[in-house]
Amino acid sequence: MINQIESIKKEYLELQDKLNSPEISANPSEMATLGKRQAELEKTMEIVNRLESIAKELLENGEIINSHEDEEMTAMAIEANVALHKEREELEKKLEYNLLPKDPNDSKDVIIEIRGGAGGDEASLFAATLFKMYSRYAESNNWKVSIMNSSTTEMGGYKEIIFNLSSLDNENPVFRKMKYESGVHRVQRIPETEKSGRIHTSTVTVAVLPEIEEVDFKIDAKDLRIDTFASSGPGGQSVNTTMSAVRITHLPTGVVASCQDEKSQHKNKDKAMKVLRSRLMQIQKDEEDKKLGDARLSQIGTGDRSEKIRTYNFPQDRITDHRIKVSWSNMENILLGNLNGIIEVLQEEDVKKKLEVGSH
């Protein structure tokens, strides 16, 4: 850790010199990038400076304690050192977290894809429940929800819904929290359509993709086939006569992205391209993760859509996250969007796992 601290001190001083240079002042884009990095390092530097200050105070108090000259001063120095040791322990943990390699996608907005899996209508209805839960959670975090594409059922569920969550400020980035939601969500309950009162098990898949900007991932126009068609409603019937819906196929991979929720063909195309970029980037990341082998196992927010991550058991009022083997009651409250308790535990466990891997 000492080497990392020295490296950060050096980088911080170099950044200050660069930001004060005329060349950088004349380049707003470079200045913004360096300024953002400086702001990140400042948080770590505050901790480092305070730890150095604590070390000095501990030494000074130690001298008072060892001198035995004044009982009252000695007692005060002992009391101060107890508090300083506790503060140092907390700051060291915080510093350890700050020095962990950061997920480059943490600050990004997200595209979420929810699809009904096994269970027919019941799975579609639960897909709608999850969408409502995430929408309310987004509201509490000051995030904007934009539906990009959806396919509804006559019962009011979703065969599929794709939507964008974007942060309205830089203080509360979306992917950092939402990445833990990728995977298979299983629901156990008595369906409204089931008169005999038998408990059914259904599944819904959730994919959380970081939103990728055009500048970060270029797609060659000649690799795309763009089709337009009329938007459809529940059951597949056409809801309008204009060809505003857009389907984009990436020919080299066969990946398809559609959007029909906007009245404008241009807006639908923009949204479909956002989805396509994020899906292609995710495929690339999955391939890289496979090459890394077990490295991805040290993370909780891996985005593996085939992994069963959570069970919602309605008769027992219990939600269980299988990755960390922790359960919560008061499901109704959680489904109203009060997800913070679950997300925070997952974040803590994620950090713990990364620290364990880093210590080996």
**Gap between the Cα atoms of 44 and 90, Å rounded:** 14
**The CATH number fitting domain 110-354, selected from 3.30.70.20, 3.20.20.140, 3.30.70.1660, 3.30.50.10:** 3.30.70.1660
The reported pLDDT for the residue numbered 195 is: 66
Look at the block and give the residue holding tokens 């005329």: 22
The reported pLDDT for the residue numbered 37 is: 82
The architecture that CATH gives domain 2-98 is Up-down Bundle (1.20)
Q: Strand 308-313 relative to strand 183-189: parallel, antiparallel, unpaired?
A: parallel
Length of the chain in terms of residues written: 360
Query: Is residue 212 a contact partner of residue 107, using CB atoms and an 8 Å limit?
Result: no
Which residue, among 77, 51, 84, has the nearest Cα to 63 in the 3D structure?
77
* DSSP assignments along 262-290, one per residue: SS-HHHHHHHHHHHHHHHHHHHHHHHHHH
The reported pLDDT for the residue numbered 84 is: 96
Please return the burial class of 108, using the count of CB atoms within 10 Å of its CB with bins 0-12, 13-18 and 19+: buried
**Gap between the Cα atoms of 39 and 41, Å rounded:** 6
The reported pLDDT for the residue numbered 286 is: 76
The reported pLDDT for the residue numbered 144 is: 93
Instruction: Please list, in sequence order, all residues whose beta carbon lies within 8 angstroms of the beta carbon of residue 317, skipping any fewer than 6 positions away.
Output: 329, 330, 331, 332
Which SS3 state, helix, strand or coil, does residue 174 take?
A: coil
The reported pLDDT for the residue numbered 133 is: 96
**Gap between the Cα atoms of 32 and 172, Å rounded:** 19
Instruction: Please list, in sequence order, all residues whose beta carbon lies within 8 angstroms of the beta carbon of residue 175, skipping any fewer than 6 positions away.
Output: 103, 105, 106, 107, 108, 109, 110, 208, 210
Q: Which two tokens stand for residue 45?
A: 């530097």
Which residue, among 300, 294, 296, 302, has the nearest Cα to 349 in the 3D structure?
300
Starting at the edge strand that comes first in sequence, how are the strands of the sheet with 326-328 ordered? Answer: 143-152, 158-167, 110-116, 200-210, 183-189, 308-313, 318-321, 326-328
Instruction: Give me the tens of pLDDT residue by residue for the chain, a chain 360 residues long.
Output: 778 888 888 988 888 888 888 888 888 878 887 887 888 788 889 999 999 999 999 999 999 999 888 899 999 999 999 999 999 999 988 888 788 877 778 888 899 999 998 888 889 999 999 999 999 999 999 999 989 888 888 888 899 899 999 988 766 889 999 999 999 999 998 886 676 778 889 999 999 998 887 667 778 888 889 888 876 654 444 445 457 788 899 998 898 888 887 777 888 888 888 889 888 888 887 777 676 665 455 456 554 567 899 999 999 999 999 999 999 999 999 999 999 999 999 988 888 888 776 555
| Region of 293 on the Ramachandran plot (φ > 0 left; ψ -120 to 50 alpha; else beta) | left
Domain ranges of the chain: 2-98, 110-354
The reported pLDDT for the residue numbered 358 is: 58
